[in-house]
Structure 1
Amino acid sequence: MSDSQVMGASPSPALPATMPLARVHGAGDMRIDQVEVPAIGPYDVLVRVGAAGVCGSDLGYVAAGNMGGAPLTEPLPLGHEFAGIVEQVGAEVRDIAPGQRCAVNPDSGLIGGGGPGAFAPFILVENARLGLEICPIPDSLLLEKAALAEPLSVAMHGLNIGRVEPGDKVVVLGAGPIGLCTVICLRHRGISDILIADLCDARLERARQLEASVTVNPSCESLGHAVGQAHGTGERYGLPFVGSDVIIDAAGSQEALGELLELAKYQSRVVIVALHKKPMPINLWKMMANEFSISGSIASDRAEEFNECVKMLADGKVNVDPLISHRIDFNQLDEAFRTAADPEASAKVIVTFPQVA
């Protein structure tokens, strides 16, 4: 790497003056606006986006017309699961050079969550640091797979919160993208006893392809009974429990979670990764008597997990192919969002930018 590459590169004369950017303007109102291509500061990096995943939060922001309920004061840029190629670097940036292929950790820049958005040909990564925001990937890793590092790291953070370790019996509620990512991360961590539950048989089939050991559709059989058959049962203080060590809620279903909380065993761990939109009653006597813990997991500070997922993807030892259900060009972003909103039809929808090699 040359000194000029380390210290920064001059702006490329080939860059356009403006670019399309997906933004939310109100409830159900997502538009592709024409905006200026961001100008880099001395500590910033401009990334040419190659692939970006549609997240459930993106769908939620469009549906609500805001983020977290607060009215918008300006349009909200969308997109935070992405990978691409470094286009420009600021004069004070070290160890990052134009041409570097990378996945980007969106946490510190609030990318897609109040900051810039990745549903655009270019995105500005402010105060970019190697291994924190800009995570290098090898030439052998497709950008569409590198874009999975973000949702996978959400799942990996949940496993760390739940202190999951080999030998644990794990229940995953929900076989949507985060639930499927959880199965992938469990397999990566050496856990094989994985039961996953969902109301959609197509999603459960993807979970089986990702090597979940047991799949359950609660609309067809009792969830508690199926978990008991898979993980064993017992009694404590005359009340039944199932033998699951960890329950990871990636569904947001109060009915499913409530059923398993009533059956949670002594010192089991429950991790809430899903977004619950309403308060939920909990039997605190059961929680006290069985000493089980309930923890939330939002994955807002996860550089270590993000890099672990990048390495996992680069190694290629865990199959992630069934997670990607669709690849749709950025020019058809509305179709990508419609497809992602249909659980029967899709898992992870990847938006592609063909101009990026």
Structure 2
Amino acid sequence: MKIARIHGAANVQLDELPTPAIGPNDLLVKVRACGICGSDLGYIAMGGLGGEGPMPIGHEFAGDIIAVGSNISEFSVGDAVAGNPDQRGIGNGGPEGAMATIIHIPDANPNMALHKIPPHISYEEAALAEPLSVALHGMNLVHVTDKDQVVVLGAGPIGLCAVAMLAHRGVQSIVVVDRVASRLQRALALGAHAIVNTAESDLSDSLAQHHGAGERYGKKFVGTDVFIDAAGAGALLNQIIDIAKFGTRISIIALYKNAVPINLYQVMANELKISGSIADQRADEFQQALDMMAAKPINRDAMISHRFSIEDLHPALSMAADADQSAKVMILLPA
């Protein structure tokens, strides 16, 4: 089997390893699609997470079961499945990674490590269930309803997933904020109602135009109910806190690499509700993401910008790192 593993800072290699043997509670999955996540790029840059030996990567995956342990009755050879990486830290510091031709799933549990793919969903769509469930978890933590006016900060892959899930939930006003025009066009294709390019427009004035505005104690605010932070930009977060209305909910699903000072007076004075979201223990939301795609397909062309073979691992990673050109970059493998 071939598997992408980190051997040091900025050093990822496609290694050849023996196909793992399975125990009575294990499965083998032939990977058919694996998305590249921003965290993969971060792990590569810093040389992994400090464990022993090379670190496997890849946690957004779908494929076919090719071997089943003797104690497992819930799955059969040939089942098409999507993988939830939470249980064993798949591709996130655990011993397994899905940017590979085959992945070993020890102690497999239905609806925990693996979910059966509903009919008519492609492998690449099923691999999107992982980032879609990240966005859904962040939405659920701040109790987004269809009546809320919502702003998504950042139109990278996770921000685009947030747009798709908000649109599926029927949210009636979704505004997306970014500085890259091509990303904003993808957001519109996935269901955003309006976009704000902060390279061209003032954020506060634009949000006031879309969501209304008001004044409290002599300070102006915008009428947005919920902000989904998929940008990870400290200055932008502080700008949002400064213009948020009383009771605004903020969900942070972005990865902040450095500490960010924030204006806690504004948080206190306006009773802002700020929630971090690591999207762990989300089996129900993972299944909901699959069910959503089964009920109403997402716009794959808007979500997935590039497709590569695993042999083209390094060009694929380079493209995923190019924010101006790429959205979700997917590695596809033959049957």
Bin for the TM-score computed over the shorter chain = over 0.9
8 Å Cα contact 1:164-1:246 kept in structure 2:
yes
Distance in 2 between residues matched to 1:268 and 1:178, nearest whole Å: 21
**Counterpart for residue 157 of structure 1:** 137
2:96 is the counterpart of 1:114: no
Q: Does 1:277 align with 2:257?
A: yes
CA distance in 2, matches of 1:43, 1:204: 45
Specify the alignment match of 1:193 in structure 2: 173
2:30 is aligned to: 48
Deviation at 1:73, TM superposition (A): 2.6
Amino acid corresponding to residue 28 of structure 2 in structure 1:
L
Q: Tell me if structure 1 keeps the 8 A contact 2:51–2:93.
A: no
Which amino acid letter does the alignment assign opposite residue 313 of structure 1?
Answer: M
The residue aligned with 2:64 is 85
Taking structure 1 as reference, are residues 28 and 318 closer, same or farther at Cα in structure 2, changes over 3 Å only?
closer
Q: Does 1:23 align with 2:5?
A: yes
Q: How much has 1:139 moved relative to structure 2?
A: 3.9
Give the aligned partner of residue 125 of structure 1.
Answer: 105
Where in structure 1 do 4 or more consecutive aligned residues deviate above 3 Å?
A: 317-321
1:105 to 2:87 alignment: no
- TM (norm. structure 1) is 0.91
The one-letter amino acid of 1:92's match is N
- What pairs with 1:246-265 in structure 2 (closer than 5 Å)? 246-265=226-245
Paired residues of 2:10 and 2:45 also in contact (CA < 8 A): yes
Structure 2: distance between partners of 1:185 and 1:75: 35
> Could you tell which deviates more after superposition, 319-328 or 263-272?
319-328
Deviation of 1:72 after TM superposition, in Å, equals: 4.3
Preserved CA contact (<8 Å) 1:82 1:104: yes
**In 2, are the aligned partners of 1:22 and 1:119 still within 8 Å (CA)?**
yes
Structure 2 contact 68–75 (Cα < 8 Å) conserved: yes
Asked if structure 2 preserves the Cα contact closer than 8 Å seen for 1:101 and 1:139, the reply is no
Q: Counterpart of 1:33?
A: 15
Whether 2:45 is the aligned partner of 1:63: answer yes
Distance 1:62 1:318 in 2: 30
Instruction: Quote how far apart the aligned CAs of 1:344 are.
Output: 1.2
- 1:174-323, aligned counterparts within 5 Å? 174-323=154-303
Contact 2:188 2:195 in 1 (8 A): yes
Whether the aligned pair in 2 keeps the contact of 1:325 and 1:348 (CA below 8 Å) is yes
Separation (CA, whole Å) in 1 of partners of 2:164 and 2:265: 34
Are the counterparts in 1 of residues 30 and 64 from structure 2 also a CA contact under 8 Å?
yes
- Measure how far apart 1:318 and its partner are: 4.1
- What is aligned with 2:73? 94
Q: Distance in 2 between matches of 1:321 and 1:315?
A: 18
Q: In terms of Rg, which structure is larger?
A: 1
Letter in 2 for 1:105: N
Per-residue CA deviations over 1:229-264 (Å, capped at 9, x if unaligned) read 111111112211110000111001111111110011
Separation of aligned partners in 1, 2:271 and 2:29 = 47
The residue identity in structure 2 corresponding to 1:206 is R
Q: What count of residue pairs does the alignment treat as equivalent?
A: 334
Shift of 1:320: 4.0
Q: Secondary structure at the match of 2:17?
A: strand
Three-state SS of the structure 2 residue aligned to 1:43 is coil
Shift of 1:317: 4.4
Q: Any idea what SS the aligned residue of 1:154 has?
A: helix
Q: How far apart, in 1, do the equivalents of 2:317 and 2:258 lie?
A: 25
Q: Distance in 1 between matches of 2:48 and 2:62?
A: 25
* Structure-2 separation of matches of 1:45 and 1:236: 58
**Identity percentage of aligned residues:** 48
Q: Distance in 2 between matches of 1:49 and 1:213?
A: 36
Q: Cα 1:78–1:286, aligned 2, differ >3 Å: closer, same or farther? A: same
Partners of 2:297 and 2:319 in 1: how far apart? 29
Q: Secondary structure at the match of 1:30?
A: strand
1:42-68 Cα offsets, whole Å, 9 max, x none, are: 11111010000000000111111122x
CA contact (8 A) 1:187 1:318 kept: no
Alpha-carbon distance between aligned partners in 2 of 1:319 and 1:341, rounded to the nearest angstrom: 22
CA contact (8 A) 2:29 2:103 kept: yes
